[in-house]
Amino acid sequence: MHLPARFSALFAAAALAVCAAAAPAQTSSSQTPGQTVNTPPAQTGNGSYIAINPLAGVRYNNKWDISATMAYQHIKAGPTVLQGANLGGFDLSGSMYMSRRWRVESSVRGFYGTSGIGNLNSLNQKGPFISEYLFTAGPEWLGPHNAHGAIYLHALGGGAYGDFEGDLHGQNAQGAGFYNNQIAPAAILGGHIDLNRSARWVFRITPDAVMTHYSINYPPNTSQFDVNFAISVGVQYKFLSRRK
């Protein structure tokens, strides 16, 4: 199954932008990996002053970081529900570096919103509230990077908990065409687009493809593999303790 075109186009455009920005920083042969070039003093007619570069302390050798972002995801609450649900929520992530390029990331995400419905029109049921929680972890790879920003790629696996029946007012999931409330396998493929604001603070954009495998316990007792687009925007904080 192909990833959504919006996800591919967004990630490709951002990757080209960061790579273009990284090119000038790689022309200096005297610069060592993980270091940045300090801004030289600026001269004036009455003397000189030092222009402080907020990115001068940017490194990629910290051991820990955390991020908090606002998140969006498009899902379907059931295998036969034609109208998808646009859910908003949060994404809390943390990473531990294992080497210069590799680290381990864990992520907890929650999404909330209303959904279209299948077969409850006779009961005047409209827009029931649903929610989904994702608990994942996995490897992450540091791609092109310089003082201005970086691109990370990650592959996370774990589980999802979907609450689809809580707002059906006593009606079962079958009547609405929804999945049952359940814990299901989940995976996330994507990455981060980071724009450094200082040595510690980063503006972060995270486009992902979220894969889930929910099942239904009413006839025909099937399961459904779904791939949905998600994106989150927020900040990352780096703890400046260095990895060993």
Domains, the chain, ordered by start: 5-17+68-242 (2.40.160.20)
Predicted confidence at residue 133, as pLDDT, reads: 98
Predicted confidence at residue 5, as pLDDT, reads: 52
Query: Is the pLDDT confidence value at 41 over 90?
Result: no
CB 81 within 8 A of CB 173: no
More confident call, 83 vs 206: 206
Query: Is the pLDDT confidence value at 37 over 80?
Result: no
174-184 pLDDT tens trace: 878 889 999 99
Q: Where residue 123 falls among pLDDT bands split at 50, 70, 90? A: low
Between CA 67 and CA 238 the distance in angstroms is 9
Predicted confidence at residue 28, as pLDDT, reads: 37
- Residue 158's Cβ-side half-sphere holds a number of Cα atoms within 13 Å equal to 19
88-100 pLDDT tens trace: 999 999 999 999 8
CB 120 within 8 A of CB 104: no
DSSP state of 35: -
E-state strands within the chain: 42-44, 47-49, 62-75, 85-97, 102-114, 129-145, 149-163, 182-196, 201-215, 223-242
For residue 64, how many other CB atoms are within 10 A of its CB? 15
Q: Where residue 22 falls among pLDDT bands split at 50, 70, 90? A: very low
Query: Is the pLDDT confidence value at 120 over 70?
Result: no
227-244 pLDDT tens trace: 999 999 999 999 977 655
Between CA 153 and CA 24 the distance in angstroms is 23
125-156 pLDDT tens trace: 678 999 999 999 999 999 999 999 999 999 99
DSSP-derived 3-state class of residue 174: helix
Predicted confidence at residue 53, as pLDDT, reads: 85
- Mean pLDDT over 64-74 rounds to 96
